[in-house]
Structure 1
Amino acid sequence: MAKLSNGTISVIFVTQRTDLDADGYAKAAAMMDELAAQQHGYIGIDSVRGADGHGITVSYWADEASAKAWRDHADHAAMREAGRNRWYSDYSLHVAQVTRSYDWKKL
């Protein structure tokens, strides 16, 4: 992922998956990852999911306008509804502005 800069917008999506349609979910998630990467202002994404279905996905955007444009994208909005109907029992979403960012890698 590209280095995050001061002012980057982080959209933090914390979810609890249902047991329904795991294959459909995997396909939809991959499609949304690809579509997001094509949007203006997209920087990258980090995502993890535990065996219990609890997951955290953080997408990074150059600015608030880019994050809102992704929120309002018609295909993303349709997939959000599918998620509410099938794939998630609950979720929370948090939007934050990065004020500092550090990387470390063991050599």
Structure 2
Amino acid sequence: MSDHPITTPAPAPSPTPAPEPPYYVAVFTSLPTPHQSGYAETAERLGALVRDIPGYIGEDSARTPGGLAISVAYFRDLEGIERWRRDAEHRVAKERGRQQWYERYSLHIARVEHSHSFRRPTPA
């Protein structure tokens, strides 16, 4: 008998369904520092805030075993991205990220001209 507890893995998150183009994406890739105090709480708070931005569609994110984090936020228009960029709490968090949480990061904004989704049918 194993001394390791049996755990049920959390269900995998579903990708954001492809909205009707055109729309915009903000792709944020980052490499964290070891100093992550307060990061999880701030990320949770910002996740709640961004959902209230007009034009926000959804977000997908992933992290590699080496620590590289990738977040893709989907917006109906550039105005939504600009509202998010100007949000006071978001601006404070970005500054803290530069000072404490990120070794480096990149942000890319792009217009999506084509997209589609796939979902395997559920067996009957």
- Scaled to the shorter chain, the TM-score interval is over 0.9
Query: Does the alignment pair 1:70 with 2:84?
Result: yes
Query: Where does residue 29 of structure 2 map in the other structure?
Result: 14
The alpha carbon displacement at 1:3 in A equals: 3.9
- Higher relative CO (Cα under 8 Å, sequence separation at least 6) belongs to 1
Q: Which amino acid aligns with 1:25?
A: Y
Q: Which runs of 5+ in 1 are unaligned?
A: none
Whether the 8 Å contact between 2:19 and 2:115 is mirrored in structure 1 is: yes
Query: Does the alignment pair 1:81 with 2:95?
Result: yes
Query: Where does residue 29 of structure 1 map in the other structure?
Result: 43
The alpha carbon displacement at 1:103 in A equals: 0.6
Whether the 8 Å contact between 2:17 and 2:117 is mirrored in structure 1 is: no
The alpha carbon displacement at 1:2 in A equals: 5.2
Q: Which amino acid aligns with 2:43?
A: A
The higher radius of gyration belongs to 2
Percent of aligned pairs sharing the same letter: 33
The alpha carbon displacement at 1:105 in A equals: 1.4
| 2:67 alignment partner, one of 43, 53, 59 | 53
Whether the 8 Å contact between 1:15 and 1:91 is mirrored in structure 2 is: yes
How many residues align structurally? Answer: 106
Q: Which runs of 5+ in 2 are unaligned?
A: 1-15
Whether the 8 Å contact between 2:46 and 2:90 is mirrored in structure 1 is: yes
Instruction: Name the Cα RMSD after superposition.
Output: 1.2
